[in-house]
Amino acid sequence: MEETVINKNTMIGELLQLKPQAAPVLMEIGMHCLGCPASQGETIEEAAMVHGLDADELLGRINSIE
Protein backbone atom coordinates (compact mmCIF):
# COMPACT_ATOMS: atom_id res chain seq x y z
CA MET A 1 0.00 0.00 0.00
CA GLU A 2 1.37 3.40 -0.97
CA GLU A 3 1.99 5.82 1.89
CA THR A 4 -0.02 9.03 1.72
CA VAL A 5 2.14 12.12 2.11
CA ILE A 6 0.36 15.32 2.96
CA ASN A 7 1.77 18.69 1.87
CA LYS A 8 1.07 22.39 2.54
CA ASN A 9 -1.42 22.56 -0.32
CA THR A 10 -3.54 19.67 0.92
CA MET A 11 -7.02 20.88 1.88
CA ILE A 12 -8.13 20.17 5.44
CA GLY A 13 -11.18 18.31 4.09
CA GLU A 14 -8.93 16.14 1.89
CA LEU A 15 -6.54 15.54 4.80
CA LEU A 16 -9.38 14.26 6.97
CA GLN A 17 -10.49 11.90 4.19
CA LEU A 18 -6.97 10.62 3.50
CA LYS A 19 -5.81 10.48 7.10
CA PRO A 20 -8.74 10.71 9.55
CA GLN A 21 -6.38 9.89 12.40
CA ALA A 22 -4.99 13.45 12.00
CA ALA A 23 -8.17 14.92 13.54
CA PRO A 24 -6.98 14.58 17.17
CA VAL A 25 -3.69 16.31 16.28
CA LEU A 26 -5.57 19.22 14.71
CA MET A 27 -7.95 19.44 17.68
CA GLU A 28 -5.01 19.37 20.11
CA ILE A 29 -3.41 22.41 18.45
CA GLY A 30 -6.62 24.44 18.48
CA MET A 31 -8.32 23.63 15.18
CA HIS A 32 -11.68 22.90 16.78
CA CYS A 33 -13.89 23.67 13.77
CA LEU A 34 -12.81 20.78 11.54
CA GLY A 35 -16.33 20.25 10.27
CA CYS A 36 -17.05 23.87 9.40
CA PRO A 37 -17.22 24.75 5.69
CA ALA A 38 -14.32 27.22 5.90
CA SER A 39 -11.90 24.62 7.23
CA GLN A 40 -12.82 22.16 4.49
CA GLY A 41 -11.70 24.64 1.81
CA GLU A 42 -8.52 25.74 3.58
CA THR A 43 -5.09 24.34 2.88
CA ILE A 44 -2.92 23.10 5.73
CA GLU A 45 -0.65 26.09 5.18
CA GLU A 46 -3.58 28.55 5.40
CA ALA A 47 -4.98 26.85 8.49
CA ALA A 48 -1.58 26.92 10.18
CA MET A 49 -1.21 30.63 9.41
CA VAL A 50 -4.68 31.45 10.78
CA HIS A 51 -3.88 29.57 13.98
CA GLY A 52 -0.37 31.02 14.36
CA LEU A 53 1.37 27.70 13.78
CA ASP A 54 4.44 26.68 11.79
CA ALA A 55 3.13 24.80 8.73
CA ASP A 56 6.29 22.69 8.39
CA GLU A 57 6.10 21.58 12.02
CA LEU A 58 2.42 20.73 11.63
CA LEU A 59 3.14 18.75 8.46
CA GLY A 60 5.85 16.83 10.26
CA ARG A 61 3.40 15.80 12.95
CA ILE A 62 0.70 14.87 10.45
CA ASN A 63 3.02 12.85 8.22
CA SER A 64 4.44 10.96 11.20
CA ILE A 65 0.99 9.58 12.06
CA GLU A 66 0.70 5.89 11.22
Model pLDDT, residue 1: 45
Model pLDDT, residue 37: 76
Model pLDDT, residue 4: 62
49-53 CB contacts, 8 Å cutoff, 24+ apart:
53/29
Domain regions of the chain by residue span: 12-63
Assess whether pLDDT exceeds 90 at residue 7.
yes
Kindly report the pTM of this predicted structure.
Answer: 0.80
**Contact between residue 6 and residue 15 where contact means Cβ atoms under 8 Å apart:** yes
List phi, psi (to 5°) of 48: -60, -45
Span 9-50, pLDDT tens digits: 999 989 988 999 999 988 888 887 777 777 778 899 998 898
In this structure, the number of other CB atoms found within 10 A of the CB of residue 20 comes to 10
Model pLDDT, residue 11: 92
**Contact between residue 19 and residue 66 where contact means Cβ atoms under 8 Å apart:** no
